[in-house]
A and B are shown apart, each in its own frame.
Chain A
Amino acid sequence: MLQQLVNALLLGGIYALVGVGFSLIYGVMNIINLAHGALIMLAAYTTFWVFQLYGVDPFASIVISMALFFVIGFILQKYIVNRVVGQNVLMTMVLTYGFELIAVNFALYFWHADYRAVNPTYAGTGLEIGDVVVPYIKLGILTVAIVLTSLLYLFMTRTKIGNAIQATSLNKDAAQLVGIDIQYIYSFTYGLSAALAAAAGTLIAIVYTVTPSMEGGFLGKAFVIAILGGLGNSLGAIVGGVVLALAETFGVVVFGAAYQQIVGYVIFLLVLIVRPCGLVGRRFFSEL
C-alpha cells in the first residue's frame, strides 16, 4: 500500500508538469491549446536526439529544450496563434488542433512510427527503503516538477513581467490602459507554456516510449489536471497532477486496473459539477 502511495506521488510529478503549461495558456489567453500534447511530443524527440547524437543527459538537456521551445512558442504565438486570440473557442481549437496534426505528421514523416527511448545508465535504479522502492528517475522528475512550478509561482508574483501576465489575465483592457504590451505578454506566456511542455516532454522521454502518436494521451491528461487544479493556477497543477495520479493508482488497487482511467475522469466530472473553479482555484478562474 505504501508502495502504491509512493507510485502515485511520483506519477503526480509527471502529471503536474504536463498540466501546468496547458493551464497557464488557458488562464491568460482563454485558449484551449490542443497543440500542447504535440509540443510535449516534439520536446521528447528533441531530448531523444540530443541524447542519441551527443550523449547529453536528459536532466541537463532540459535547459536546452526549455530554451528552444520558449523561442518556438513565442514565435508560434506571435505569428499564428495571435490571430485567433479573442475569437470564439472553436476557432482557437481548430487552429491549435491543426498545428497538432501538422506536428504529428511531421514527426511521422521524418522519424517514422519507430519506437524510441532514452536510456541513461541510471535508468531503473532506485532507492530502497524497507519494502518500498523509489526509482531515482521518477524522484528526479518530481523534484524538477516542484522546482519548476515553484519558480513559475515566484516568477508570477515577484517579477514585473509576471505581474503583467497576471494583470493581463485578470483584465486585458485595464492592463492595456496601464501600459502593458498585451501582444508581448501573450507571446511570452505562450513561450513559457511551451517551455513547460518541453520540460514535461523531456522527462517523459526517459520513462515512456517516444512515438509520434504519444501526444494524444498526454493532451487528455493535461485537460483533466488543469481542470482539477483550477485553470490558470500553477500551484493548482501540482495538486491536480497528484490528485489524478492518486485516483488512478488507487483506482487500480480498489476497483481493478480496467477502471484506472475511469476513476480519474469521474473525479474530474465531480470537480466540474461541485467546484468548477478547481480544487484549489478561487472563484476568479484565471487567478494565479
Chain B
Amino acid sequence: MGSRIRFREWFFLLALLVMVGLMMEGCGLIGQQATGAGGNVVKIGAALSATGALAREGELMKRGYELWKDTVNEKGGIDVGGKKYKVDIIYYDDKGDATTAGKLVEKLITEDKVDFIMAPYSSGITAAASAISEKYQKIMIAPLANADSVYSRGFKYLFGVLYPVGEGFGLHIDYLNTLQPKVQKIAIIYPDDLYPTTAAEVVKKKAEGAGMRVVYFQKFPKGTQDLSALISGVKSSGAEALITSGYFEDNVLMVKTAKELKLNVKYLGGMGAPTQPDFVKTLGKNAEYVIGMSQWEPTSGWKGPFFGSSQDYNALYKKKYNEDATYYTAAASAGGLALQLALEKAGSVDTEKVRTALRALDVETFFTPIKFDDTGFNRSGKGLIVQIKDGKLNIVYPEKLAQSKGVFPMPEWDKR
C-alpha cells in the first residue's frame, strides 16, 4: 500500500518536472546555445515560425539559414580581418505572431547577446520585429519581406534581400519592351483585393511611362465565376497584350475564356499562378505560351561568390534535403551570404562597420543581384519571366538568364 503511494508521488514529481521543463522550453529558457567553445564566433539570432500558420515557410527559411551556416563552417568560417569566424545561429519559435517575434528579437539581443539578427518570414512580422532590432541598433537581414511599407520607415539597420512587390508584376512591361513588333495597347484585369489592385496600379503607371496605352483596365469581383464579359471587352478594346494580377482560378478562367471567345492577343500573362504545377495540369495544352513570373528558380542562372550559380546552390540543397530548392530557402541563404560578404569586406564584426559594408554591397549572387538602396531595400533584385512551353517552365527574361527565346506573338488559338 505504502509503496503505491510512493509510486504515485514519484509519478507526480516526474510529471511536474516534465511540465516545468516544457514551460522553460516554451519560454525559450532552454534554447540552442553557442557551440563554438574557444575560437571566434559570429552569433546570430533568428525568430522563425516553427509552429503556427507560417510553420512551413519558417521551416524552409530555417533550411536556408542552416545550409549557409553549415557551408560556412565546413569551409572553416568567415574571414574577418584575417581571423576565421564560425557561425552560430540561435533559433526561437515566433509561432507566426508578430508580437511574439518582437519579444523574441528583444530577448535575442538583450539576453543571448547576438551580434546580428536574421528576420522572420513575411512583411508583417518583419515590420514588427525590425522595430525592436532598430531600437537596439542591431542589423537585421530580412530575406522574405518585400512590401515597400517595411522599408519606408527610415530604418538604418534593416536590409531586405527580396526585390519589391510592385516591381515583380512590372517585369511584364520590361519584357514587353524588348519584344518586336512593339506592343502599343495593353489590357490589365485584376480581382478586387488589396495586393492585386496595388500590383495592377503600379503596372498601369509603368506601362504608360513606357509609352504604351492601357486600353482596358478593369477590376472584377474576387472569386468571380465568369469572365466572358471582361474578355469580350478586352477583345473589342483591341488590346495586343492581356495581363492579370489575379489568383490561380482567375488565371485559369482568363485563359479558358480567351480561347473560347477567340481573343487572339499576342501576349497573355499572369503573376505566380502560371508557374504552379497545377496550372498546366488544369489547362493542358491551352496553358502553352502563357507567361508567368517567378522569384527564383533552381535554373535561374545567376552566379556569384561562395555558393556559385543557382544550379550549384540547388545541387547543394538537393544533396541535403533530396528535393529541389524553393525561393524561400534560396532567399534565406542569400540573406546569410549578404551578411557574410559584408563581414569580409568590413574586416570587423562591429555593427557600424558591417552596416557601412552592407550599404556599399554591389554584387551578383546565386539568388539575384544584391545592392541595397538608401532605405536598405534590394531594389536591384529581379524576378524572372517564364513562358510555358511543352508543359514546362522556360525562362525567357531577363535576357542574360533566358533559357531560350520566348514565343512572341503567341500563336492564334486556331493555328495551334
Contacts and interface: CB of A to CB of B under 8 A. Distances in A.
Given A117-B252, A252-B229, A261-B221, 9 more contacts: A115-B278, A116-B282, A123-B256, A128-B262, A207-B256, A211-B249, A249-B229, A257-B218, A257-B220
Interface in A251-275: 252-253, 256-258, 260-261
B178 interface: no
B260 A248 contact: no
Contacts of B235: 3
Interface size class of A (residues with CB under 8 A): 35 or more
Contacts of B192: 258
Contacts of A87: none
B253 interface: yes
A285 B108 CA distance: 69
B248 A124 contact: no
A115 B249 contact: yes
B35 to A, nearest CB: 40
B260 A217 contact: no
A117 B282 contact: yes
B230 interface: yes
A124 B228 contact: no
Interface of B: 189, 192, 218-221, 223-226, 228-230, 232-233, 235-236, 248-249, 252-253, 256, 259-262, 278, 281-284, 286, 413
Given A115-B249, A126-B262, A137-B260, A260 B229 contact: yes
Contacts of A216: 223
B225 A208 contact: yes
A48 to B, nearest CB: 11
Contact of B229 (A119, A208, A257, A258): A257
Contacts of A276: none
A7 B282 contact: no
Nearest to B235: A3
A9 B221 CA distance: 20
13 contacts: A115-B252, A115-B282, A116-B282, A123-B286, A124-B256, A124-B260, A135-B260, A208-B253, A209-B248, A209-B282, A211-B249, A258-B218, A260-B221
Contact of A4 (B229, B253, B256): B229
A117 B280 CA distance: 10
Interface of A is mostly: helix
A138 interface: yes
B224 A260 contact: yes
A7 B232 contact: yes
B233 A252 contact: yes
Given A7-B228, A124-B260, A133-B260, A119 B221 contact: no
A29 B249 CA distance: 35
Nearest to A115: B278
A217 B223 contact: yes
A133 B281 CA distance: 26
A3 B228 CA distance: 9
Contacts of B236: 3
B262 A252 contact: no
A114 B276 CA distance: 11
Given A117-B252, A218-B225, A249-B228, A258 B282 contact: no
User: Which A-B residue pairs are the 4 nearest by beta carbons?
Assistant: A124-B259, A252-B229, A7-B228, A135-B260
Given A7-B228, A248-B229, A258-B221, A209 B252 contact: yes
A64 to B, nearest CB: 23
Contacts of A4: 229, 232
Interface string A104-125: 0000000000111101000110
